[in-house]
Each structure stands twice: as C-alpha cells, then as structure tokens.
Amino acid sequence: MGRRTVSVAAAAVLTVGLAACGSSDSTPTLTWYINPDNGGQAELAKRCTEAAGGEYRIETSLLPREASAQREQLARRLAANDSSIDIISLDPPFIPELAEAGFLAEIPDDVAQAVTENVVQGAIDGATWRDELVAVPFWANTQLLWYRKSVAEAAGLDPENQPVTWQQIIDAAQSQEKYLGVQGIRAEALTVWINALVTSAGGEIIDNPEAPADQVQLGLETDAGREAAQIIEDIARNGLGGPGLANEDENASMLQFQGDRGSFMVNWPFVWAATLAGVEAGNLDQSLVDDIGWAQYPAVAEGEDSRPPYGGINLGIGAFSEHTDFALAAAQCIVQPDNQAYYMVTNGNPASNTEAYENPDVQEAFPMADLIRESLEAAAPRPQTPYYNEVSTGLQNTWHPPISVTPDSSPEEATTLITEVLKGERLL
C-alpha cells in the first residue's frame, strides 16, 4: 500500500492564499479531539499554535473518559464523514478498526519516517496496521513491577538485578501473608493483564489478527493460554489479590499496595507520582516511598523475557478533515521530543520518543525513566484487530470474576464465545 506525499508546492500556494485574505478569521482552525488529562494536551495545542506562526491554530475538544465511549463517539462521527475531526488522540487497540474502515488519513512516507525516528518499538507497533503506519506515536505507557523492598528481601528476591517470575512473587506474597496488586475488574484493565500473561508465555490472543471476522483464529487454547489462566487462578483462589480483586482497577491496586499488606504490584508509572503526592499531602509516610522499588514486569517462566503491557495514545488524522496537511504538520509538532518530555513531567504519561528520556526534568521526576524506556521496547500491544471490542469484551465476560478462571475451561470458553460472536452466531 503506497502512501501519498505531502505536496510542498500545494502547501505553499495555500499559505499564500491565506495570507492574501488579510484576515485572521481565515486562519484554519484544527480541532484536536483529546482524551481527559491534566491539561497537558491543551498546553501542547497552544504551543504548536504559536509555533505555526499564523498558518493554523489548534483547538481541543474533550472526549469521554472511558476508552470504549471514546471509540463509540469517534466511530459514529467518522462513519458520518465528519469533517470537523482533524486530529484524534487514539487508544492504540482501536486504531486497526478505524484504519480498516478508512476513517484515518494516510501518513505520507516522509512524515512516517520523521515521527518514528528514535521511537520505542512498542509505540510503532501500536500505530501500525497491515504493515503501514496509520497513526503518529505520541505518548506510550507500560507497566512495571513495583515492589516493597522489605518483602522482596525477606523472600530472598532481588528484582532490580535479577528478573523474577509470577510464581516467585506469588510464593513470596503467600509466605508473608501479603497481597499482590493486580487488576481483576471486569474492564479493559483485565484484558491488559490477560494479554501480558499470554504474550509473556510466548503466545498471542489472536493468531491471525488481519483475517476477516469469520476466519479469526484465537490462540487461547494453547500452553500459553493455559499458563495465563493458571496464574490468575493461583492468585484468586489463594486470596492473594485481596478481598476486592473482582473490582480492583489500577487505582485500587495502588491503594492496596500502599497499605500494610502490600508486596508486589503490576501497574503503570502514574503510581509513583501519586504516591509522592500522597506523602506531600500528609496521607502517606515517607518510609513507604523509601521501601518501594521497581523492576521489569514478571516473567511467566524463569529464563524467558516478559512482554509488559503497552498502552498510551497515538494521533490519528481524520480522513474527512479539510486540512489534512496542516493536521499532519500539527501532529509532528505535538510529538516533538521537548513536548513529549514536558507532557511526561507534567501529566505523568511516558514519552514514546527515546530522546525525551534524556531530559533532566524527566530523569528527576521519574528515577525509573530508563526502565520505562526499556520496558516499552519489550512491550506487547493488545491484539491488533478491527474486532478488538468483541475480543476484549469476550475475554472479560469469560475470565471474570478471577476466582472462576481455570486453565481447564476458561481458554475454551473464551474461544467459543468470541468465535461465535465474530461469526454472527451469538451476541455479547
């Protein structure tokens, strides 16, 4: 599939034409649909508007908080050829669906080369569909293993210098009557955990993600799928996830980890800033911070590399925008390393560009910045498929609550449900 190349001459003609109008009202206004954050994307819109020198301006429009609601709103509007959608902050799992439907403008070769230079592989993979870059990598997220140094030491573990397995941290928590921080809620967080377990065991949830719906082959009824289910069963049936495991999201995991029975936790880097803020507010003791360490995501098998979760946001360009060239230019401005470093420090969302990690402010705010970058290089995206919504919801329906999960039945149940849904034989 070829990509179109931006015409410099056409852009120049358009710029002259705009200047000839002599009115600020003729300046194109780009609408950037953003996910909720702490104001960082609005600030980047302001910065890039100033950098454009009057060529265009960027306004932001807020999407719903839940990723599924964002997907629904965008899919409906783009299906109606909405020309007001210029730039979109997209959750990576929904990119294939929008790209396959023709809702995203093509990324020209020169732009693709520019926006992937020095970018971590996980972010590039998450912005790619059918071997083509279809979105611009913006910020990238990954989960680390957070641990209480006192618990790890008592168990004879040194996660910082020696990678640990799920079995090792399960044994450590159980022997010390502690809780493991995992996300067992019936939501996207559960799919994230399942995918990380399956891929870390050497498998994939979908074997042929580009296949038509009725030909999709799932990879759950495999050793990898059964090993993933076994880990969840061990944690749930031994009560290691805590009493609220079935409703535990990322924030609940963090609060449990901060308590007296905290031990190990898989979670996103936001927990570091949140914990520091708790100490500053007087809600947490400094001794907690001193007892927290971080390491690579747990491996399923000793000697095998883990595949940490990949998340974040990429920038899509609306296929029906009246200003795609300006939108592409704006996207390139937004993802400049300095802007990504600012966004990481102020909003807590890790950069996709490795240059941003050299920024002194990033290094100061995130002592684990180098580990985040390394984790992103090894991270595995969730299934890249236009039918992601059906796959994720099917997993949540069959692998929840965690205490019901078993390697003998859960992989088969998920495979049956998702396959029948994709073939139109059953509804979710």
The per-residue DSSP string of 313-375 comes to EEEEEBTT-S-HHHHHHHHHHHT-HHHHHHHHHHH-PPBSBGGGGG-HHHHHH-TTHHHHHHH
Tokens read off for 80: 């109606």
3-state secondary structure of 299: strand
Look up the pTM and report it.
0.90
Place of tokens 């990429």: 314
Residue 277 burial by Cβ neighbours in a 10 Å radius (0-12, 13-18, 19+): exposed
Instruction: Inform me whether the pLDDT recorded for 42 exceeds 80.
Output: yes
Percent of the chain with pLDDT over 70: 94
pLDDT at 263: 98
Would you say 1 and 130 are in contact if contact means Cβ atoms under 8 Å apart? yes
For the chain, the farthest-separated pair of C-alpha atoms sits apart, in whole angstroms, at 76
pLDDT tens figures, 327-358: 999 999 999 999 999 999 999 999 999 999 99
3-state secondary structure of 397: helix
pLDDT at 13: 35
Instruction: Inform me whether the pLDDT recorded for 97 exceeds 60.
Output: yes
Tokens read off for 25: 């009202």
What is the C-alpha to C-alpha distance for residues 353 and 373, in angstroms, rounded to an integer? 9
Instruction: Inform me whether the pLDDT recorded for 312 exceeds 50.
Output: yes
Instruction: Inform me whether the pLDDT recorded for 24 exceeds 60.
Output: no
Percent of the chain with pLDDT over 90: 92
What is the C-alpha to C-alpha distance for residues 381 and 126, in angstroms, rounded to an integer? 6
Q: 50 — phi, psi (to 5°)?
A: -65, -40
Instruction: Inform me whether the pLDDT recorded for 3 exceeds 60.
Output: no
- Which has the higher per-residue pLDDT, 21 or 193? 193
Instruction: Inform me whether the pLDDT recorded for 10 exceeds 50.
Output: no
Tokens read off for 98: 């929008």
pLDDT tens figures, 223-279: 999 999 999 999 999 999 999 999 999 999 999 999 999 999 999 999 999 999 999
- Secondary-structure class of domain 142-308+384-423 per CATH: alpha beta
Q: Do 29-141+309-381 and 142-308+384-423 come out as alike in CATH topology? A: yes
What mean pLDDT do residues 134-154 have?
A: 98
Instruction: Inform me whether the pLDDT recorded for 293 exceeds 90.
Output: yes
In the chain, what are the domain boundaries?
Answer: 29-141+309-381, 142-308+384-423
pLDDT at 9: 37
* Cα dihedral across residues 337, 339, 345, 349: positive or negative: negative
What is the C-alpha to C-alpha distance for residues 216 and 68, in angstroms, rounded to an integer? 22
What is the C-alpha to C-alpha distance for residues 230 and 223, in angstroms, rounded to an integer? 10
**How much is the mean pLDDT over the chain?**
94
Report the first-to-last Cα separation within the chain, whole angstroms: 34
Instruction: Inform me whether the pLDDT recorded for 6 exceeds 50.
Output: no
* Cα dihedral across residues 370, 254, 141, 349: positive or negative: negative
Instruction: Inform me whether the pLDDT recorded for 211 exceeds 80.
Output: yes
From residue 147, give the alpha-carbon distance in Å to each of 138, 226, 297, 326.
28, 26, 11, 45
pLDDT at 23: 39
pLDDT at 25: 66
29-141+309-381 has which fold?
Answer: D-Maltodextrin-Binding Protein; domain 2 (3.40.190)
pLDDT at 66: 85
Q: How confident is the model at residue 14 (pLDDT cuts 50, 70, 90)?
A: very low
pLDDT at 68: 84
pLDDT at 67: 84
- Which has the higher per-residue pLDDT, 84 or 20? 84
Instruction: Inform me whether the pLDDT recorded for 154 exceeds 50.
Output: yes
Cis omega (within 30 of 0) for bond into 401: yes
* Cα dihedral across residues 268, 273, 276, 278: positive or negative: negative
What is the C-alpha to C-alpha distance for residues 78 and 82, in angstroms, rounded to an integer? 5
Instruction: Inform me whether the pLDDT recorded for 30 exceeds 90.
Output: yes
What mean pLDDT do residues 277-294 have?
A: 97
Would you say 273 and 350 are in contact if contact means Cβ atoms under 8 Å apart? no
pLDDT at 428: 87
